[in-house]
A and B are shown apart, each in its own frame.
Chain A
Amino acid sequence: MSGNPIDRVAEATPPAIANKVRGLSDRAIAWLFVGPSIVLLLAVNIFPLIWTINLSFTNFKANRLRDVEYIGTRNYERILTDADTWNSMQATAHFLFWTIFFQVLIGFTLAYLINKKFKGNDMWTTIIVLPMMLSPAVVGNFWTFLYQPQIGLFNYVVEFFTGIESSSFSMIGDVNLAPWSIVIVDTWMWTPFVMLICLAGLRSIPDSIYEAAECDRASKWRQFWTLTIPMALPFLMLAVLFRGIENFKMFDLVVQLTGGGPGSLTTLTSIDLKREAFEKWRTGYASAYAVILFVTVFGLASIYVKALNKVKER
């Protein structure tokens, strides 16, 4: 290829037409096309980010406009030594670990089964996918109804299968059950996401590899562990990356479901941040908190992407 395709066309045409083809220079068109997006992103993402970083070094409170002072890194020190922060980090870690664990387990199993290509598998895949497309806040709110002791469908189903009386437990109110109540709903909602990505991974494995393994008389079990899993691994890891980032940011579903309670047991970092910023109005403090969260997710994601690329290269 000799340079830009547009120049190739221009070179092949007489000068008069070439000018017409070129019209505005490519660079001008490129900036014209990319410009609006960049401007909007600068205004809505980068400018606020810089502002947040700036605010994080002040004691600014959005409901009080006077007395803004720069207080250095005091906000950061306070956040990192505050027990509430670590409680919410712990709640987030519990939520992250178990949602990803269950979603990968169930999602991969489902994808494996669907890949058996039984009749009507496309239709059932579409049905399974429905929950993840819905509004998390609306879904979370309705699950509080399903979780009601006695009248709730979830409790009734549990009673039906285990005999534990439906009115004797409250998924949202009980300190032992509440952290699991959010894991259950998130798993219900997002397992299809992992399933879809795994399915794409399984479908990308060419049949010929299995045929070769069959010729070598590798057992099905062995084929699964030495062929299927390694070849689907990059997809599985991608699914974990997406779910990890999403659930680290988790707000809407959980705030509607448990509101962070009982006590602060399901207060994930986003919920904690929201309280600091929009209930206590400690804007400076919350800005520092936001910066810490962003750096954490960005850092973890970058390390993870490096690992992912290594797996892909193999």
Chain B
Amino acid sequence: MSGFSVTEPSKRQKWIAGLLVITYAMVTLLPLLWIIATGFKSPEDAISYPPKVVFTPSVEGYVNLFTSRTRVTSSMEETLAPPETWYEEVARDAGTTIVGPSRYGQRFLNSVVIGFGSTFLAIVFGTSAAYAFSRFKVPLKDDLLFFILSTRMMPPIAVAIPMFLMFRELGLNDTKLGMILLYTAVNLSLSVWLLKGFIDEIPFEYEEAALIDGYTRFQAFYKVVLPQAATGIASTAIFCLIFAWNEYAFAVLLTSGNAQTAPPFIPTIIGVGGQDWPAVAAGATIFLIPVMIFTILLRKHLLRGITFGAVRK
């Protein structure tokens, strides 16, 4: 920067702007920090008045999240062996004993399998479709592209009605395969639109050179275009993953015991007399942290992803 510019904000303006934005950021961050903090509170601290900012950290929430327990009665107490593990000790201190693992682990694993499975398929189909839309004359191209996008306008519940009936006919209700296919289809619109934008930006000259060197069309696609589009593919994949990871409406309506993912499960974590808030917060923390990390990694492509490629920086 050199010289005076009329468009450059003054020092004072920058100060005020910075102060206001940082204040907003602090306020907006508060609920998130509160989730993380609540996960490390004991049940008594979590529901104290006034809300506790300073507290003795406890892992009871995390132990409760991953285990199912039963209350220890005074007659039981003598028959129980002394606690062998640290988590049994935590449970014993709260007057309970662990009887087995909870279903959280399995729900979380379902989220991972369904999330990655559908992302992988959405990227494979999406990349090839986007390449074709970008490089070839596809009949009715604009109509097809709009049709792909319009599938996102339907309320998920409206889609869930026929999906429920169809899955019931095909035996796909409450299966991971059914959910993977469904999320793949929903994510396809995002991946085709985003990837088409990324591939459009790769100059055709690269492929042209490869074709002249004797590559076939397929070779040119996977040896020249794919490596060039790698960043775009990676960020599209993260967007697809985040969608599948966060999705609730289809998951709650089309899955129950077997293929249920974490979002419908976390709100059902119940303790004595209502929700077990430290356990809910612990479950939410483990579930939300990966997305927060992805968001930070994605920050350069964030805008593009959330607007289906309509706005490119």
Show the binding face of A for B, using Cβ within 8 Å.
Answer: 4-6, 8-9, 12-13, 17, 20-24, 26-27, 29-30, 32-34, 36-38, 40-41, 43-45, 47-49, 51-52, 55, 62, 106, 110, 113-114, 116-122, 124-138, 141-143, 145-146, 150-153, 156, 166-167, 188, 191-193, 196-197, 199-200, 203, 207, 210-211, 214, 235, 238, 242, 245, 248-249, 251-252, 256, 269-270, 273-274, 277-278, 283, 286-287, 290-291, 293-294, 297-298, 301
Could you tell me which residues of chain B, from 224 to 261, have a CB within 8 Å of some CB in chain A? Answer: 242, 245-249, 252-253
Contacts of A200 in B (CB 8 A): 303, 311, 313
Instruction: Report the Cα distance A290→B28, complex, angstroms.
Output: 35
A301 touches B292 (CB 8 A): no
- B132:A30 contact, CB within 8 angstroms: yes
Complex A-B: 25 CB contacts under 8 Å: A23-B218, A29-B132, A34-B129, A36-B128, A38-B144, A41-B148, A41-B185, A48-B162, A48-B163, A62-B164, A110-B24, A118-B14, A118-B21, A124-B18, A130-B295, A134-B246, A136-B248, A146-B31, A151-B51, A191-B28, A196-B306, A269-B155, A297-B153, A297-B154, A301-B153
> Distance (Å) between the CB of B158 and the closest chain A CB?
3
- Chain A neighbourhood of B32, CB < 8 A: 130-131, 134
What A residues does B302 contact at CB under 8 A?
129, 196
Is B15 an interface position by the 8 A CB rule? yes
A4 engages B15 (CB within 8 Å): no
Please encode chain B, from 145 to 163, with 1 for each CB lying within 8 Å of some chain A CB and 0 for all others. 0011011111111111111
Cβ 8 A contact of B7, one of A24, A211, A274: A211
**Which chain A residue lies CB-closest to B128?**
A33
CA–CA, A298 to B242, complex, Å?
25
Report the Cα distance A117→B16, complex, angstroms.
11
Q: A36-B125, A38-B144 are in contact. Are A43 and B185 (CB under 8 A)?
A: yes
Rank and list the top 3 A-B pairs by shortest CB-CB distance, nearest first. Answer: A48-B162, A290-B158, A44-B185
Alpha-carbon distance A244/B247, docked complex (angstroms) = 19
Whether B75 sits at the interface, judged by CB under 8 Å, is no
Q: Which of chain B's residues have a CB closer than 8 A to the CB of A127?
A: 25, 28-29
A residues within 8 A CB of B294?
133
Partner among A48, A132, A301 whose Cβ is within 8 Å of the Cβ of B166? A48
Knowing A146-B34, A273-B155 are in contact, say whether A55-B162 is a contact too (CB < 8 A).
Answer: yes
* Residues of chain A contacted by B28 (CB below 8 angstroms): 127-128, 130-131, 188, 191-192
Additional A-B contacts beyond A29-B136, A134-B32, A256-B267 (8; CB < 8 A): A40-B184, A45-B154, A118-B15, A126-B296, A135-B245, A138-B266, A242-B306, A274-B253
Q: A129-B299, A196-B302, A278-B253 are in contact. Are A34 and B17 (CB under 8 A)?
A: no
Closest Cβ of chain B: how far from A109's Cβ, in Å? 8
CB distance from A250 to the nearest CB of B (A): 9
Point out the residues of chain A lying under 8 angstroms from B76, CB to CB: none
Q: How far is the CA of A2 from the CA of B52 in the complex (A)?
A: 72
The answer, among B47, B126, B163, for a CB contact under 8 Å with A37, is B126
Q: A65 CB to closest chain B CB, in angstroms? A: 11
Do A118 and B131 touch (CB < 8 A)?
Answer: no
Number of interface residues of B (CB under 8 A): 106
The dominant DSSP class at the B interface is helix
CB distance from B120 to the nearest CB of A (A): 13
- In the bound assembly, the distance between CA atoms of A26 and B216 in angstroms comes to 11
Nearest CB of chain A from residue B37's CB, rounded to whole Å:
10
Most buried by A among B217, B218, B277: B217
Known: A26-B136, A116-B13, A252-B248. A188 touches B192 (CB 8 A): no
Contact A193 B306 (CB under 8 A): yes
Residues in B whose Cβ lies below 8 Å from that of A8:
208
Contact status B188-A37, CB under 8 Å: yes
B21 contacts A141, C-beta separation under 8 Å: no
Instruction: List residues of chain B with CB within 8 A of the CB of A136.
Output: 246, 248
Q: Is B288 an interface residue (CB 8 A)?
A: yes
Shortest Cβ distance from residue B1 to the other chain A in the assembled complex, whole angstroms: 11
Taking CB atoms, residues of chain A closer than 8 Å to B150 are 298
Contact B14 A117 (CB under 8 A): yes
Q: How far is the CA of A187 from the CA of B15 in the complex (A)?
A: 26
How far, in angstroms, from A58 to B280 measured CA to CA in the complex? 42
Question: Are the CB atoms of B155 and A13 closer together than 8 Å?
Answer: no
- Please state if A251 and B157 are interface contacts (CB–CB under 8 Å): yes
Chain B residues with CB under 8 Å of A27's CB are: 136
CB contact between B249 and one of A17, A26, A48, A251 (< 8 Å): that residue: A251
